[in-house]
Amino acid sequence: MRIRLIHTLALWLLATVGVSVLAMGGVTAWNLREGFSAYLQARDIERLDKFVELIVLRLDQAGSTEDLPEPGGLDMPSLLRELQRLDGTLVDAPRAHTGQGPPSPGARDTGRPPPPRRQAPVDAFGDRVAVFDANGRQLAGPPLRAGATPLIERPVRVQGQVVALVRMRPMDPVPDANDARFLQRQYQGIAAVAAALILLALISAWWLARQWAKPLAAVQQATARIARGELNVRVPSARKDEIGDVVRNVNLMAESLQKIEGARRRWIADMSHELRTPLAALRGEIEALVDGIRPLSQAAVLSLRDDAQRLGVLIDDLHLLAMSDLQRLPCHMVETDAVAAVGDALKGFETRAATAGLSLGWASTPPASLRVYWDPERIHQLLANLLENSLRYTDRPGRVEVSAERSGDTVRITINDSGPGVGPEDQLHLFEPLYRGDSARSRNTGGSGLGLAICAAIVGAHGGSIQAQSSPLGGLQVTASLPVDARGHKS
């Protein structure tokens, strides 16, 4: 079974948060236990030091530091009660009165045995401390059993001399029920907080996974439809993060594919139209000769040859554009003169311009020469197509001006013509194959629509750029910017 992205994201987020919470809870519990045990041990040692001070005080009050009491002679209950008053904590349970010695103050003889007293905790201070003389003989306190932890020993010093030793067995890690209950409550609190955090993480992970997975699922569905050819699909999204960028990129991709598909269909339709027109004329003339409507003469053969040549030129142009899309146009770069190349092109169109009633020439005095490394044949084709486009679309009486100038490592060739002009929306598409600014123009007026596209391919093969804009003369301005040395260009 396939695991959905929303489940994967939710499980990963939940696992990450869960492991983090459990690790933090475990470390906190361990640190609490160790810290609490260290606190109890420090407090226990502090009691031991106070207990030693009490013994020193009693010996000072007795006025003798040499004759210590015999074993059992120290009043341990009195010392422990005094210690209880000093630190305010229970260190031992009071002992029941056995009839020996005076009864405790306030006690009354009712003839009944006294009620049972609360037993001291097993790890009470009084059960773990004993007093020894300097020779190691025990004077007071319970027998101290040996354990895994060594006994803690403090000397009793009176006037700078060690007169006794106080030894204490350290308490267990969790000394009594009260302390154990305290730790248990802390553990329960940590567990409750951890459970609440994991629940919150589960809800957050589910919500966050949905926020991430929902637009991605929409992108998945949209791309699947685009792959099936539904190029009008768009994914709505108002997100500003990276997922929103992905959605916008998918929409831009679909829009670009839709434009490319539309251009491809228009290209096929236009190309079939361009090929059908000369073929129809050629077929009509041949059928006229076959049917005997037109006599077979040299003029008829020459007309057939002209139609075949026009068809061949169109096919060559289409092939050239197809090759420029697949790979760089083959160019043979040699040293040439850009000014001379433009001058030769102008001379070739002088008669055509005069016949059309147009003035053709330099916009200003050109430089003496501009040495460049270009393909002369391709540049001649470029200039011929640009001049043909201007002469074809410029009304008489009009003017076509050409300029060539160098700026740094670039040579700019600019052609300006007088009206009519081209609208800004058409200027963006002039270099597309088979595009005409006015679709109603006939082929004789508008040409095949391949000339400017071929110009763009030639300029691109030289590593330059070409653009069209409105001309100061009222018509169209086309500027081709070419590097001075195009030998190092790689497409």
Q: Write the DSSP assignment of 270-295 as a string of letters.
A: HHHHHHHHHHHHHHHHHHHHHTTSS-
Separation of alpha carbons 466 and 479, rounded Å: 6
Question: How far are the Cα atoms of 12, 41, 223, 402, 407 from residue 479, in angstroms, in the given order?
Answer: 59, 92, 40, 10, 13
pLDDT of 459: 94
Question: What CA–CA distance (Å, rounded) separates 182 from 96?
Answer: 30
**Assigned token pair, 424:** 């800004």
pLDDT at 351: 92
Read off the pTM: 0.50
pLDDT given for residue 159 in this prediction: 79
Best CA proximity match to 460, nearest among 480, 432, 430: 480
Residue 349: Cβ-neighbour burial (10 angstroms; 0-12, 13-18, 19+): buried
Rg (CA), the chain: 54
Look at residue 118 in the predicted model and tell me its pLDDT: 44
DSSP 236: -
Instruction: Please give the Cα distance from 432 to 442 (Å, whole number).
Output: 18
DSSP type of residue 126: G
For residue 447, what pLDDT is reported? 59
What pLDDT does 442 receive? 39
Assess contact for 405 and 433: CB atoms under 8 A: no
Quick one: tokens of 203?
């809800």
- Rounded distance between C-alpha atoms, residue 387 and residue 332, angstroms: 23
Q: How would you classify the pairing of strands 474-483 and 358-362?
A: unpaired
Question: 256-259 contacts: CB < 8 A, separation 24 or more?
Answer: 257/226, 257/231, 258/231, 258/232
Q: Which residue in 73, 13, 450 sits closest to 210, CA to CA?
A: 13
Q: Which pLDDT belongs to residue 178?
A: 65
Neighbour tally for 171: CB within 10 Å: 21
CB of 354 within 8 A of CB of 314?
Answer: no
Domains for the chain: give ranges and CATH numbers.
1-93+121-229 (no CATH), 242-325 (1.10.287.130), 329-483 (3.30.565.10)
| Alpha-helical runs (H) found in 228-337 | 242-290, 298-326
Q: How far apart are CA 328 and CA 461, in angstroms?
A: 6
d(CA 324, CA 372): 23
* Residues 6+ positions from 325 with CB-CB distance below 8 Å: none
Amino acid identity of residue 112, one-letter, is R
Cα-Cα-Cα-Cα dihedral sign, residues 35, 37, 43, 46: negative
Q: What is the pLDDT of residue 116?
A: 45
pLDDT in tens, the chain (491 residues): 555 656 676 677 777 777 887 787 778 877 777 777 788 788 888 888 888 888 888 877 766 555 565 555 577 888 888 888 876 654 444 443 333 334 444 444 444 555 444 444 445 788 888 888 888 888 888 888 766 678 888 998 887 888 888 988 887 665 556 667 777 787 788 788 888 887 887 787 777 777 777 788 888 888 899 888 888 888 887 778 777 888 889 999 988 888 888 877 877 777 777 777 778 888 888 888 888 888 888 888 888 888 888 788 778 777 777 776 666 678 889 999 999 999 999 999 999 999 999 999 999 999 999 999 999 999 999 999 999 999 988 998 999 999 999 999 999 999 999 978 888 888 888 888 777 665 433 344 555 678 898 899 999 999 999 999 999 999 999 999 999 999 876 55
DSSP label at residue 125: G
Residues 6+ apart with CB under 8 A from 229: none
Assess contact for 316 and 345: CB atoms under 8 A. Answer: no
